[in-house]
Every structure is written in C-alpha cells, then in structure tokens.
Amino acid sequence: MRPFRFSADVSDIVDGPTLAAKARRAETIGYDSLVLGDHLLEQLAPIPALAVIAAATERLRIGMFVLNNDLRHPAVLAQDLATLDVLSGGRLEIGIGGGWNEPEYRAIGIPFEEPAVRIARLAEAVAVLKGLFGEGAFSFRGTYYAIADLDGRPKPVQRPHPPFLIAGGGRRVLGIAAREAETVGLAPRALADPGRSFAETLAPATAEKIGWIREAAGDRFDGLDLNVYPAVARMSITAHARQEAAEVSARISSRHGQEVSVDDLLESPFTLIGSVEELVAKLRSLRERLGINSFTVFDMDAFAPVVERLAGT
C-alpha cells in the first residue's frame, strides 16, 4: 500500500503574513501539501499565493486543486509553473482539470464547450506543459494549441517535470490521468451536474472508476496515488456521525430528489463525518479496499488530529 498523503486547501482571502503562518502550521501538523483552487470567485489566485507559501516553509509541497485548463494558455502556464518549482526548490505539484463551472465561462465570455472538447484540450495542454519542461526547443501542433520551436524557460527543478494531479469524473479524463499523472483525482460529476445520480459518489461507483484507472494505467497503476475529497458534505469531526449523515441524506433528498442511505453516506469516499477514531479507521479501510491514499480537506485545523495519527504511515 502507498503511504497516506494529506493536502489542505487554503483559498480563503487573507494577507501574506496570515497565509505564511497557516503554511507553517500545516507543515508542523504533518500535511504533505497546501493547495488552492482555481475559480473566479472569492479566493486568492493560486500562482502568487503558492509563492508566498513556498517562501514561508521548508518541506511543505505546494499545488493546485485544480487549475482550470481553459483559463490559461499552456505555454504561459508552463513558465508560471516552472517558476514556482524553482522558487520552492522543487516542491511543486501540478493539479489540473478540464474545467466544469459553466457560470464562470459565461461571465468572461469563454465558450463552455462539450466535455469531449474540454477533455481533448486538457490532453493537449498536458503534452505542451511536459514538452516545454523538457530539454531544448519544443514544437507541437494539435487541434487547439500550436507551439513552434519554443524552449520553455525556466526549467523546473524536478525532472523530467513536477508531478501532475489530473482530476475528473468521467472515463475519458480518468484515462488521461491514469496515463499522464502521478496522482489521479476522483471528482464526482454529480456535484457539477444535478441531473446525475448521487450513486456516483458512493463506494461501488468509485470502485468501478478505479477499475477504469487500473485498465488505462497498465503497469503504471501501482505507482499512482488516488485522491478524494469531502465533496458530498462538509467535513465534520463529531461523536454523532449517524445523526449528521441523516441530515445530509435529508438535504440530498430535498434538493435533488434522490435517496441516499446513512450507511452509504458514511461509507462514501467523498464524506468525512465521524470521530477521529472513526475517520482514522475509515481512511485505513479506503486505502486497503480501494487503494485511495491521498486526501484533500478544506479545514486544515479540524482535520489535524487525523493527519497527526496517519501522516507518514
């Protein structure tokens, strides 16, 4: 089994000294990395914020959860990312996905194209990023991007490139992640598309998706980290797990017209509701049964007791 890896999101808008202090605390607790999302919402922009985090820490890795590929040209992004890797001394992890939040696209006049187009563009962007991180001049001609003899500078410290986390919920994007990334992020599509069944967030559907990843990855599979996050409900450290899960179930039924049992919710890889002991046992079980070893949370301090128990194991 691969060791546990824990990352925490720190997208809240704070000043530099406050962000630096949070980063140092995360390093002390035992988190592996701090990450920022990539939305045109009330949050810090990921690239400059990660530079602040890197400057304030020594061991902590930095990353994105996850970049929207459609917001940046990959040649420009390659320079930004390589710069972060240089500034951090080789601690960057590149989280990237095909984009999903349609209102953001409409707000800035970018066409929100069908998933097949966004996923194909993501695959090309990853090829461009890796090419520009490599030695010498790089050329590429695809459907969406064209690069002509560009020698990407600076080069990242990590060779041949910083590790990638590619996230998505469908078979096509998970196949790209299985072939190209070091970490595969399992992101339920039901959260972006209310028409989808919440069964996608439960353990059986997750096991099926991991089967897709295994098939696409081939010999790479045993070296992959599999990542999940509390997507279905807010994380809660509580002595009343069943009561809180019942409240979540009622909300899902009311808002989405779908029934999800308390037992299924508590077993879901995308819920973190329970006591510290219960969550420690759950994470160990998810790793043993499904191979999931990487977890991203959105409340660094609340989850600290779990990280302190499992970090490095």
Q: How far apart are CA 220 and CA 212, in angstroms?
A: 13
Q: How far apart are CA 242 and CA 263, in angstroms?
A: 8
pLDDT in tens, 153-188: 999 999 999 999 999 999 999 999 999 999 999 998
Q: How far apart are CA 271 and CA 287, in angstroms?
A: 15
pLDDT number for residue 196: 72
Residue 68 to residues 71, 77, 98, Cα–Cα distance (Å): 6, 11, 6
Element (H, E) at 294: strand 294-297
Domain ranges of the chain: 5-310
pLDDT number for residue 193: 65
pLDDT number for residue 302: 97
Q: How far apart are CA 275 and CA 262, in angstroms?
A: 16
Q: Report residues of the chain scoring pLDDT below 70.
A: 190-195
Which class is 5-310 in CATH? alpha beta
Q: How far apart are CA 182 and CA 85, in angstroms?
A: 16
Q: Which two tokens stand for residue 219?
A: 């010999």
Model pTM score: 0.95
CB 3 within 8 A of CB 29: no
pLDDT number for residue 257: 84
Query: Rounded to 5 degrees, what are φ and ψ at 20?
Result: -65, -40
pLDDT number for residue 255: 83
How would you classify the pairing of strands 146-150 and 138-141? antiparallel
Q: Which residues of 29-50 are buried (b: 16+ CB within 10 A; e: fewer)?
A: bbbbbbbbbbeeeebbebbebb
